[in-house]
Amino acid sequence: MKAKKLLIVGTLLLSTIVLASCGKSSSKGYSTTGSTGGTYQGVIKGGHYKTSKARGVNINQNNNQYNLKSFESGLTDVSKRVFSTKNYIFQEGQYLSTDTIESWLGRKTKSNPNGLNPTRGKKSDPNPEYIQQIEEQDYMTESGSSLKLKGMTIGIGINSEYNYHKKTDGPSYTKKISDEEVQRQGKIAADKVLKRLRQRKDLKNIPIVIALYKQAPDDSLVGGTFFAYSKNSGSSVSTWHKLNYKNTVLPKANAETSQNSGSSTDNDSFSNFKSQIQNFFPNLSGVTAQAQYHNGSLSGMHITITTQFYSQSEISSFTAYIARAAKRYLPHGIPIDIKIQSDSEMQAVVYRNSGSDNFQSHVFNSY
């Protein structure tokens, strides 16, 4: 495992170096990826996309890939609150290297004084590793013919549980970490990270946003959520702003729905949708959804329908029907996408972007 990790990191470093040297040869010119409504443009230099200096670190940090994706896209959402997509251009983090982030994510030891996690302590009752992933995003504006760094966002992912072994190859134990502790540890780490960044000349005067993310457990079918952020001009963290996101899986188990929560109508409308399309096409293997709530209201859904179709005409008819049923049964005014897939491949997609009322669909085909 370790050797593989190092190999990956090595390969990444190498490709970053190659990239960087290619980039230099092309004077100071840059271009951008272009953007579709509400997304950032990305930086292209010398024809190449400028990848992160710490590329791939977080892949190894997450046993649950939902934590990887929701952390990354959630971090971009936090950035949008501060750096508007109209005025800023997105650049993958260029200031924190793989080495730096890996040392920060380690435990604090003599050989790793910058580790943000506590020493292991007793083997039979170890201190949790709290800080699980860190990501840097750079926000640029045009200045003459080049781009200048005008802001940075740092995401910090904090574990909500800690899995450990008392003996190598022994059974696995889990320590729950309370929400209070997640918050406390996140804020401690944020303060240290901010101070370290400010020691760099080039990061002295830009606004630095720090966002805290609570990791979902390894067996969760949805990722974690960001719960706080602060926008900082100095070297100590200023006000924390609360973020109120909640992720859930639909349909809910019976025990959950009996709670008198605001989300029970959403679960009902999803269940209606589900039974409608299962009645339409009886041998669907699964209809599930990830739903996100923001300040108590449903803010988006990712639906997956696993099918056992036998022909393109079935897929095509089913897709047309889904688009109609989705508009009729699913909550209005939020972005939703629906993947229609077999065990081996995606067959069609139906989606509604944020702000739109109609669903668009595309059936995958082959010549």
Interface ranges with a second copy (CB under 8 A): 12, 15, 18-19, 33-36, 39, 41-42, 44, 47-49, 51-52, 55-56, 58-59, 65-66, 68-70, 72-73, 76, 90, 92, 135, 137, 222-223, 247, 279-283, 290-292, 300, 302, 310-314, 316-318, 320-321, 323-324, 337, 339, 346, 349, 351, 360-362, 364-367
106, two tokens = 């380690």
Cβ nearer to a second copy, comparing 73 with 114: 73
State how far Cα 84 lies from the chain centre: 19
User: How many CB atoms within 10 Å of residue 222?
Assistant: 19
Distance between CA atoms of residues 95 and 153, nearest Å: 11
- The number of C-alpha atoms within 13 Å of 5 and in the hemisphere containing its C-beta is 11
Cβ nearer to a second copy, comparing 44 with 203: 44
Least separation in angstroms between residue 96's CB and a second copy is 14
Cβ nearer to a second copy, comparing 39 with 236: 39
Cβ nearer to a second copy, comparing 203 with 320: 320
DSSP 3-state assignment of 140?
strand
Q: Do residues 286 and 274 make contact, with C-beta atoms less than 8 angstroms apart?
A: no
Give, in order, the Cα–Cα distances in Å from 12 to each of 57, 130, 152, 192, 344: 9, 26, 22, 27, 29
Distance between CA atoms of residues 189 and 197, nearest Å: 12
Q: Do residues 134 and 190 make contact, with C-beta atoms less than 8 angstroms apart?
A: no
- Residue 212 corresponds to which amino acid? L
Burial group, residue 239, by CB count within 10 angstroms (0-12, 13-18, 19+) = exposed
Q: End-to-end CA distance of the chain, in Å?
A: 42
Distance between CA atoms of residues 169 and 76, nearest Å: 38
Q: Tokens 């960087």 label which residue?
A: 20
The residue among 155, 65, 158, 153 whose CA lies nearest residue 117 is 158
Distance between CA atoms of residues 354 and 211, nearest Å: 23
Q: What is the DSSP letter of 216?
A: P
Distance between CA atoms of residues 256 and 248, nearest Å: 11
Least separation in angstroms between residue 132's CB and a second copy is 16
Least separation in angstroms between residue 302's CB and a second copy is 6
Distance between CA atoms of residues 277 and 236, nearest Å: 53
331, two tokens = 């909550």
